[in-house]
Amino acid sequence: MHLKSYVTAALYGLPALAHAAPSAASYSQPSTPSPSSSASEDHFREYTIKAENITAKVIPYGARLTSVLVPDRDGNVQDVVVGYDDPKYYLHDSQTNRTFFGATVGRYANRIKNGTFSIDGNTYHIPENENGGQDTLHGGFIGYDMRNWTVTSYSDSSVTFTLLDQGFENFPGDVISHATFSVSTEKSAENPRGLPQLTTKLVSLALTEKTPIMLANHIYWNLNAFKNSDVLKDTSLQLPLSERFVGADSIEIPTGELLDVDTAYEGALDFRQPKLIGKDIEKTTDLCGDDCTGYDTCWLVDRPAAYAAANSVVPSLRATSEKTGITLDVATNQAALQIYTCNGQNGTIATKESQAKRNKAQDGDSGATHINKYGCFVIETEDWIDGINQPQWGRDQYQIFGPDDGPVVNFATYQFGTF
């Protein structure tokens, strides 16, 4: 309660902008921003943070990462984050495709079955915004991805956004969250080579009532910088601590089953050793939903008891691009990783014109000019999805928080190198 009284009106996240949505579902990205009223300019202002060999851009709308520039094996700069050159196109996206490109999602990431959960015998219902009313995805119709966060700190290498959620989408109680993005190349025990590193910190506090809290970054990656049409035969993935994954039904709601990666779907989900994303993808029919082939799956990060505590930061994912030689190593304190291989993309959204120009200058052609099916992949560091509706999993202590509890922290580092 003390903390709530301290929060000023300046930290209150503005409602989602109520502009009319552009009508076209298939469109090209403009090379220059379109005119906009001064009242909304701040929500789409790009904040640039830099360190040696890494530059990132973020905007307050959705506390969203819009670009990460790192060198490839030849020293050429590449943008490895999927999104838009014009920040105002994220609003267009929200009103049309709602891809969640680069956004911070919440108050509860991923899906909640029937938009319903119970806490201490009380049942709560929030708006269902997916599958004809069968579940709530990423916080509801207006999730954190569509809120205008407030910039509360900004330096050359770090930005912090803040949002006060006063019962958004009928979630119980008030929650204040801070989303910090920082870059560095400082040498440390976790980064002994001083590689370019992006760090994300999502810190939330329940202020008034017990409530589910599970924020996540929803960053789309393409390590080949759209020099190839997709990532299937170019990008390798390794999940060294993931021996199990969450079983899901035909609309991707967890069934309660925890399945072994080495036996389910003929081993298609076994990435304990590096493997091309496309190597076994044809074996995944119905894995990502009814009649869907691809990955949209929650892998558990099982820390060996003798190796690390349950919430310790551990290397959880490694991805590499044969085309550019760019490597990405992710470490997190979270207990699961949701990986999505852009199965729903269909080539109607253009890639960034800025990257197409880089490809043209470097390779003589623009590469993939649109985001194709399997043309990228998403990494969400989070807890076990819909754990609030699976009491047998025992995840409430990691997903339900009240005013007497400490902060909820989702911490992740993204280190970039080459091979």
Q: In the numeric block, which tokens belong to residue 77?
A: 């700069």
Per the residue annotation, which of 252, 353, 380, 382 is the catalytic one? 380
In this structure, the dihedral spanned by the alpha carbons of residues 244, 234, 372 and 49, taken in order and rounded to 10 degrees, is 80
In the set 43, 92, 178, 218, the catalytic residue is 218
Cβ(163)–Cβ(203) below 8 Å: no
**CB 251: neighbour CB atoms within 10 A?**
14
State how far the Cα of 270 lies from the Cα of 243, in Å rounded to an integer: 7
Exposure class string for 101-131: b at 16+ Cβ within 10 A, else e: bbbbbbbbbbbbbebebebeeeebebebbbe
89 φ, ψ (degrees, to nearest 5): -70, -15
To the query of whether residue 380 is one of the catalytic residues in this protein, the response is yes
Please enumerate in sequence order all residues whose Cβ is within 8 A of that of 45, keeping only pairs 6 or more positions apart, or say none.
Answer: 59, 60, 87
Nearest to 182, CA basis, from 157, 161, 219: 157
Q: Which two tokens stand for residue 89?
A: 């196109």
Active site members: 218, 380
